[in-house]
Each structure stands twice: as structure tokens, then as C-alpha cells.
Amino acid sequence: MSEIGPSELGERLADGDVFVLDVRPRENYRNGHIDGSYNAPVYHDLRSGDHAALDDHMDEIPADADVVTVCKAGVVAKKATSRLREQGYDARTLSGGFTGWKHYEDDTLLYRVASAVRGLF
């Protein structure tokens, strides 16, 4: 499964050439999200194996965009990425999920160490 790291996503967002799809529940999204991202609250559906739950949101996802899927840690977002790829989208998963993104944004020691060894994010 193809992934993208937080720093590369940050660069892509600055260039404006990526669509970020956040699949976390609406409440989690309201409590914090990547600026400009779109929320399709299908986390629980995807987690339980209902990969088609994302289909109701396909009209909101530009067909010609590079899509990056986001959840809390990246595990459930991989299911969204897989579904999008089945539907013909160019999609990748944000490694470390929104948790990794927050560490990147805050430039935490954990993020710096993890990115140096490229193991966590």
C-alpha cells in the first residue's frame, strides 16, 4: 500500500495539488483536522469491513486529484485508500495518520526522531 509522510503532505498542501480525505468520525474531525481536508465520516464502517460505505462520498472527491486518506493512526485509512484505488483514484495513506500529522505540525521530538529513522511516520 502506498503511503505519504507528513512532511511530503505538507509540501503538497503548500503547492495545492492534493485532496485530503479524512475518514475519522465527525466529532474527531471537529476537534482537529488538516486544513482544507474533506471529512467523510466512514471510519466505523471501514473498520467493520464495509468498504462500500465510502461510495456515498465519491462525488466529493475529484477524479483527477491525488488523494491522501487520513484516520487517527493510518490503519483504517488504508482501507479507504484500497477502496479508492479500486474505483480508479490515485490514492495514498498518510503514514501515522492525524496523530503523525500533529507531531509533524508541532515539530515534536518524537516526530524528529521517527522521521530520522523513518520508522514511525
pLDDT digits (tens, 9 = 90+) for 103-119: 998 878 877 887 777 65
Burial class (CB in 10 A: 0-12, 13-18, 19+), 6: buried
| CATH for 90 | 3.40.250.10
What H or E segment, with its residue span, contains residue 31? none
Task: Give the total number of structural domains in the chain.
Answer: 1
pLDDT value at residue 120: 53
Residue 72 DSSP symbol: S
Count of CB atoms situated within 10 Å of the CB of 8: 15
What is the domain extent for residue 40?
Answer: 3-117
**Do 40 and 60 meet the contact criterion of CB atoms below 8 Å apart?**
yes
pTM for the model stands at 0.90
Cβ atoms of 70 and 24 closer than 8 Å: yes
pLDDT of 1 > 80? The answer is: no
